[in-house]
Chain A
Amino acid sequence: MNPDLIYFFQTLLNGLAVGSMYSMIAVGYSMVYCLLNRVNFAHGDLYVFGTFISFSMMQIFPIPAAILFACLLAGLIGMTIERTVYRPVRDAFRLVPMISALGAALVLRTIAQIVWGTEALAFPSLLPGGYLEIAGLKLFYKNFVIIGISLFIVIGLTCFMRYTKLGRATQCIVESLSTASLMGIPINRIIPLIYALGGFFGVVGGVAYSSYYGVVSMDMGIWGTIKAWAAVILGGVGTTYGAFIGGLILGLAETFASGYLSSAYKEAVGYIVIIAILMLKPTGLLGKKRIEKV
């Protein structure tokens, strides 16, 4: 096969894997974001915190148990953050909950830095190594595992939102918090649950990311929040698979930018793609236009 073509497909495959990791972080974020339409700055630091915990747990417990424990703990922390930081200011001025979440993020970051230090740590590679070579194209197994996990998560969450009672109730809250509350939907039980789910799947994404690159560091936190937020906005607020597609596009844009331009500009190119798409379609790719109720 033509080497240029091989390079293209190789980049595509890498891009899909990177995009899948963004998607994993983004789908969890998407639910939390849609729920109240407030930027949740704590999401990134929460999932990295969870990844750190799984890292420490792995030294003692078997790996699956360690990851599960970290996911559950992150879910619990997510719920706690909702209860202590979000709920009291839910009806406040738009910026207030965002800033309180930022405060929570900074606190989490500091705790992590005190416990695990400020340096990045080497994360064990949990994904299968090796690759299959077809016509000069190296198909890394880890890429497929990552893509598989993220597809599984997004399909699972989409089904959850569509077909379960809890998922439908969540959609009602997304539509209108006050109406949902008036209709007897127990919002104060469902919202923490969604925060917990967001934290849970965030850690899945975080562990996948850290084992893919073999590193975990607290800097991934705010970075993750921004990537997830960007992916959600790009895909369109309000759908789980919108976040998934947004994450994929972001990953592809960055990987192609570093493959063909320069890795120094990859983030910049990612953002330029987002801005360009948003300028063409202000509601995001799959976002529905909301009719403003006056």
Chain B
Amino acid sequence: MKKAALKDFFSKKSTRIFLLAILFAGLTVAPFVTNTLTKRIISTIFIYSLLSMGNMVIGGFTGMLNLGHAAFWGVGAYITAILMTGYNVPFSAAFLAAGIGTALVGLVVSIPCLRLSTDFLSLITIAFSYIFLAVVRNWMSVTKGPQGIPGISCINFFGVDFSSANAVYFVLFAVAVVSFIVISNITKSKFGLAMQAVRDDELGARSAGIKPAQVKILSFVIGTFFAGLAGALYAAYIGYIGPNTFTFDTSTTIFQMCILGGLGSIPGAVVGTVFFVVMPETIRTLAVYRVGVGGVIMLLLMLFRPQGIMGSRAFATKDGIQERIKNKLIARKVANVQKHV
């Protein structure tokens, strides 16, 4: 009964707004009261949440296993770095160019889905991530190869420099909040519904006049656009980029963020991001276990709560362990009752 009351409390709109307000206030005050490390971790969460929200659109809403998201992130970062260091383009323009350029790459990568099934498209995203790395590591004249590109000047919108640590923090915060609102609005619209319809049953979606390939491409374009923005922010925030950030392993981590947070939930993506950014920081001394902890979480999650922390309960299987344990308990109770009768 207590659980139900708790659930009611959290599902109330006023409660949610209240909690959001607290979170918002906390994040606003945070840079003034915390140390550099915490500030850096929160800033990283902002950047990564753009990635995980974008990947949530592709994976959690349209149901495509995108294992090349880090490469899209890299495309955005490299566009920004090359434009800013090589051509002296101001950050605001490079920021936009990164978003649009990456979305175009996403469009090209997702076009094969006109002919291929969803699982084959995952292979193409993997292929893309390897092709991207091969190009970045070897196209010395443009990407400077394995050493990467240093000396990227900091975030600067329309001539206003955000060079102090607090200023950067608030820029990242603002971009993350705006992106959250935009992505939430898209996913709550008919476009988001069409994505979910395609994810759950392509044929059923087609019978409603939805063209699955279009929906898939659209979700790729949206997801990779935000990956591109994240790339631009990352490049200007760190000031240096190299190919080793944008590997397949990073893509896997981004996907894990979405899974932990819950398929089909944009707030979930943020929650997953917080976990996967904070977890490695807390067990820094035991770096070997980091991957394993991620693995164990994936396993336990899929077995006991496949919908993730905030995903819809419709993803929970009837045949899942949780259900079976419950059924066994019920059976035992019934047997007990029968014994007494």
Residue interface bits B95-133, CB-to-A below 8 A is 1, else 0: 000000000000000001001110110111011001100
A85 interface residue, CB < 8 Å from B? yes
> How many angstroms between the C-alpha atoms of A265 and B299 in the bound complex?
35
Which residues on A sit within 8 Å (CB–CB) of B255? 99
> How many angstroms between the C-alpha atoms of A277 and B120 in the bound complex?
12
A100-B298, A265-B138 as given contacts; A271 in contact with B292, CB under 8 Å: no
A278 interface residue, CB < 8 Å from B? yes
Interface band, chain B: 35 or more
Stretch at the interface among B21-29, B186-194, B316-324, B331-339: B316-324
> How many angstroms between the C-alpha atoms of A262 and B139 in the bound complex?
12
Find out whether the CB atom of A85 lies under 8 angstroms from the CB atom of B299: yes
Instruction: Give chain B's interface secondary structure class.
Output: helix
Identify the closest chain A residue to B119 (Cβ): A39
Residue interface bits A103-122, CB-to-B below 8 A is 1, else 0: 11111111101100010000
Find out whether the CB atom of B298 lies under 8 angstroms from the CB atom of A102: yes
Smallest distance from the beta carbon of B121 to chain A beta carbons, Å?
A: 10
Number of A-B contacts defined by CB within 8 Å: 141
A98 interface residue, CB < 8 Å from B? yes
CB neighbors of A among B197-246 (8 A): 203
B63 interface residue, CB < 8 Å from A? yes
Which residues on A sit within 8 Å (CB–CB) of B177? none
Instruction: Give chain A's interface secondary structure class.
Output: helix
Find out whether the CB atom of A109 lies under 8 angstroms from the CB atom of B291: yes
Which residues on B sit within 8 Å (CB–CB) of A39? 65, 119, 122
Find out whether the CB atom of A92 lies under 8 angstroms from the CB atom of B295: no
Find out whether the CB atom of A91 lies under 8 angstroms from the CB atom of B317: yes
Which residues on A sit within 8 Å (CB–CB) of B65? 39, 95, 98
Which residues on A sit within 8 Å (CB–CB) of B203? 292, 294
> How many angstroms between the C-alpha atoms of A80 and B96 in the bound complex?
49
Find out whether the CB atom of B318 lies under 8 angstroms from the CB atom of A91: yes
> How many angstroms between the C-alpha atoms of A271 and B132 in the bound complex?
11
Which residues on A sit within 8 Å (CB–CB) of B144? none
Identify the closest chain A residue to B322 (Cβ): A88
Find out whether the CB atom of A272 lies under 8 angstroms from the CB atom of B131: yes
> How many angstroms between the C-alpha atoms of A229 and B299 in the bound complex?
21
A222 interface residue, CB < 8 Å from B? yes
How many residues belonging to A are interface residues under a CB distance threshold of 8 Å? 48
Find out whether the CB atom of B112 lies under 8 angstroms from the CB atom of A279: yes
A145 interface residue, CB < 8 Å from B? no
> How many angstroms between the C-alpha atoms of A144 and B41 in the bound complex?
54
> How many angstroms between the C-alpha atoms of A274 and B116 in the bound complex?
12
A-B contact pairs, 23 of them (CB 8 A): A88-B321, A89-B317, A89-B320, A90-B319, A92-B319, A93-B63, A93-B306, A94-B63, A95-B59, A95-B63, A96-B302, A97-B302, A103-B294, A103-B298, A103-B301, A108-B295, A110-B288, A110-B292, A229-B123, A264-B138, A268-B130, A278-B120, A282-B120
List the interface of chain B (C-beta within 8 A of A): 59, 63, 65, 112, 115-117, 119-120, 122-124, 126-127, 130-131, 134-135, 137-138, 203, 248, 252, 255-256, 259, 263, 288-289, 291-292, 294-303, 306, 315, 317-321, 324
A233 interface residue, CB < 8 Å from B? yes
Which residues on B sit within 8 Å (CB–CB) of A113? 288, 291
Find out whether the CB atom of A233 lies under 8 angstroms from the CB atom of B123: yes
Find out whether the CB atom of B134 lies under 8 angstroms from the CB atom of A267: yes
Which residues on A sit within 8 Å (CB–CB) of B315? 92-93, 96
Identify the closest chain B residue to A92 (Cβ): B317
User: Which listed residue (B137, B288, B299) contacts A100, Cβ 8 A?
Assistant: B299
> How many angstroms between the C-alpha atoms of A271 and B315 in the bound complex?
33
CB neighbors of B among A247-271 (8 A): 262, 264-265, 267-268, 271
Smallest distance from the beta carbon of B340 to chain A beta carbons, Å?
A: 33
A109-B292, A110-B291, A279-B115 as given contacts; A103 in contact with B302, CB under 8 Å: yes
Extra pairs beyond A39-B119, A102-B256 (9, CB < 8 Å): A103-B296, A105-B295, A107-B296, A111-B292, A113-B291, A265-B134, A272-B127, A282-B115, A292-B203
